[in-house]
Amino acid sequence: MEIVLYGYWRSGTSYRTRIALNLKGLSYRQTTLDLRAGAQNSPEYKALNPQGLLPALEVDGATLTQSPAILEWLEERFPEPPLLPKTMDERAIVRAMAATIGCDIHPLNNLRVLKALKGSLGASQEQVNSWIARWIGDGFAALEQAIARHGQGFAYGDAPTLVDCYLVPQVYSAERFGVDLSPYPKLMEAASLARSLPAFAAAHPDNQPDAD
């Protein structure tokens, strides 16, 4: 079985997918699409993924898109080690924590939105940075409470879950844009522990073959 990941080194959704693949111990081949050059809009890639977004995963003759769906597929197809807890209630909490990032932070701060703010709406870089910090701050404030309640080293419990797959790339993005993370000590402790694991380190943008 060959797994092909279509992604970009600094894409947060590609980053979280690499983490999940690594945690599952899966080998995969990467195909790079440079978002800065608009490679995701090429006819060849849009034939594979009509939405023209990253990542996409080719495996067993199927093309999977949207990182939440890809991560859930990986959990079902390769259940060990698990990235979701055992009980239904616990799984719902983990999914909600992940969705705080996947639905409420990341989509508002991805490249196409930031380009629209600066291009179509004429926002300055200072205004764009303020926009980024606002949505990260709102989400991280809620996650700080959830991690304080449910974390036992990692964001949820004492082992990596889907939450950590989402959290580490979002912290990377926050640091990149100079967001003040001092109000979120529990969140940063969880992110630091996750980053210390080889699966997370190998997925870091700087360690990708297409990194600048």
* Low pLDDT (below 70) residues in the chain: none
Q: What pLDDT score was predicted for residue 41?
A: 93
Check whether residue 109 and residue 37 sit in a common domain.
Answer: no
pLDDT, tens digit (0-9, with 9 covering 90-100), for 21-40: 999 999 999 999 999 999 99
Q: What is the model's pLDDT at position 168?
A: 98
The answer to whether residue 169 sits within a structural domain is yes
Write down the pLDDT at residue 159: 98
Q: Do 140 and 184 form a contact (C-beta atoms < 8 A)?
A: yes
Nearest to 164 by CA among 56, 65, 16, 62: 16
Same domain, 71 and 7: yes
What is the structure's pLDDT at 171?
A: 98
Tally of domains in the chain: 2
Residue 86, C-beta contacts closer than 8 angstroms, at least 6 positions apart: none
pLDDT at 187: 98
What's the pTM?
0.96
Q: CA of 181: how far to CAs of 50, 177, 193, 205, in Å?
A: 36, 11, 16, 20
Q: Which of 59, 81, 103 is the last residue of a domain?
A: 81
* d(C-alpha 32, C-alpha 12), whole Å: 14
Check whether residue 108 and residue 64 sit in a common domain: no
Q: What is the pLDDT of residue 59?
A: 96
**How far from 41 is each of 32, 53, 62, 204, 209, CA to CA, in Å?**
13, 8, 20, 25, 21
- Provide the pLDDT for residue 111: 86
pLDDT of residue 110: 87
DSSP state of 154: S
